[in-house]
A and B are shown apart, each in its own frame.
Chain A
């Protein structure tokens, strides 16, 4: 490290960019003052109580929890089956499907958001929390497929053949051999989808109303009227959950394996 000052300097700059804003949010959350000042005045938990007592934030947190869980739970089977199909079978129009699955990634969120909004208002889905889950599922599904694909690519096809040689049907081999073998990818994908679903802003802004508001939209609403430390308190909770979930992924799967370091 010390022999490589250039790399060291860039990495330090990166870490400052990543960490500084996040840490400041957490510090501000514990202020006792009414406004954001530096250095922050006093120490209290009052803003966490404000969040707890605010019906907007409470509704936002509850709706985000529901939407994120629907999003991740539906994404898991879809991602596993799609990734497996593309890997294992000669699917007709394979290139087309591969490109199609990448679309949510390349089409601007503004555009897919407007499209979803039009469809949702036609079918009366605006205001339904499970609808928000579906909307974030539609834009984030590539992440699940990529997470599972990386596990499937390192899967040895002989494993399945061995299972079938021993008399397992394809379905049985799928449940007893393939699923356990690609579990790391499924866990990583599930948690990633959950976090992205919980925090998706633009798409949920377009498909929610007052009753189905999600936490990011609630923060946005509250930011527009006044920039107070209660947003910092809510944000700290999200940061805490994100750190815990990432550490869980690391425990269960290993971050290195996920990124194929």
Chain B
């Protein structure tokens, strides 16, 4: 029962984080490839790459400062309502923390796809009378599919196997399968069981990755 719940939680968190990361990364990657000012483009790129390189511990600590009991958000809440709310050690905290790690990766995966589509394609569609929404739906979205696929794959695998974010932002209340594997190896010392859990995790992840390929289409892994 416990392990079914764990597997289910890991799966839905991974699907949710992947979907949200794609949604949030798509416009950003689009803007990076279309913005005219070179300085603005460089700024956007640096802003997304720096969090990617500073490591997971610093970011977990940073979220403690934002969402902790005496943190930024709670100070605002306290000013307004006079009480504090629980933000840390919840599912929401884990999802926000994971998103912040996955969005830059998704952006890096998507940028080459948008470069490959080219502005001309969109202009051609608009010349043919398509409005912005139809251009997006019938031209941009289908042509950028390889980028979406690879971003979905990488985001999904990394979320499914994450350890540090659920550990620090979930505080044991919102463990994912990676935490349980770690637990089995280092606390319970049940190595065969840890091995079995790893294989089940790989199996479930493979099925879901196959469905990403199947439903979104082929992409290519990069970075």
Chain A interface residues toward B at CB < 8 A: 4, 6-7, 10-11, 13-15, 17-22, 24-25, 28, 35-39, 102, 105-111, 114, 143, 146-147, 150, 192, 195-196, 198-202, 216, 219-220, 223, 227, 231-232, 235, 238-239, 242-243, 245-247, 250, 255-256, 259-261
B111 CB contact (under 8 Å) in A13, A25, A259: A259
**Segment 44-60 of B: residues with Cβ below 8 Å from A:** 44-51, 53-59
Identify which of B98-106, B123-131, B210-218 touches chain A: B98-106
Contacting pair A250 B223 (CB below 8 A): no
Interface SS of chain B: helix
In the bound complex, residues from chain B placing their C-beta under 8 Å from that of A196 are 53
Contacting pair A200 B100 (CB below 8 A): no
Contact count A vs B, C-beta below 8 Å: 184
B53 CB contact (under 8 Å) in A37, A105, A192, A227: A192
Task: Kindly state the separation between the CA atoms of A223 and B56 in the bound complex, as whole angstroms.
Answer: 13
Which of B55, B72, B132, B198 has the largest number of chain A CB atoms within 10 A?
B55
In the bound complex, residues from chain A placing their C-beta under 8 Å from that of B63 are 21
Q: A18-B47, A143-B223, A235-B61 are in contact. List 17 more A-B contacts (CB 8 A).
A: A17-B99, A17-B103, A25-B62, A109-B163, A150-B222, A199-B57, A200-B55, A201-B57, A216-B56, A219-B61, A227-B64, A232-B65, A235-B54, A256-B38, A256-B42, A259-B45, A259-B108
Name B74's closest neighbour in chain A (CB-CB): A38
Task: Kindly state the separation between the CA atoms of A227 and B56 in the bound complex, as whole angstroms.
Answer: 16
A110 CB contact (under 8 Å) in B61, B132, B161, B168: B161
Contact with A along B31-49 (1 / 0, CB 8 A): 1110000100110111111
Tally chain B residues at the interface, Cβ within 8 Å: 66
Task: Kindly state the separation between the CA atoms of A9 and B182 in the bound complex, as whole angstroms.
Answer: 39
CB within 8 Å for A110 and B32 given contacts A18-B104, A227-B64, A227-B68: no
In the bound complex, residues from chain B placing their C-beta under 8 Å from that of A10 are 23-24, 26-28
Task: Kindly state the separation between the CA atoms of A114 and B165 in the bound complex, as whole angstroms.
Answer: 18
Nearest-CB distance from B35 to chain A (Å)? 8
Contacting pair B53 A109 (CB below 8 A): no
Contacting pair B27 A36 (CB below 8 A): no
Name A10's closest neighbour in chain B (CB-CB): B27
Task: Kindly state the separation between the CA atoms of A11 and B28 in the bound complex, as whole angstroms.
Answer: 5
Which of A13, A110, A146, A200 has the largest number of chain B CB atoms within 10 A?
A110
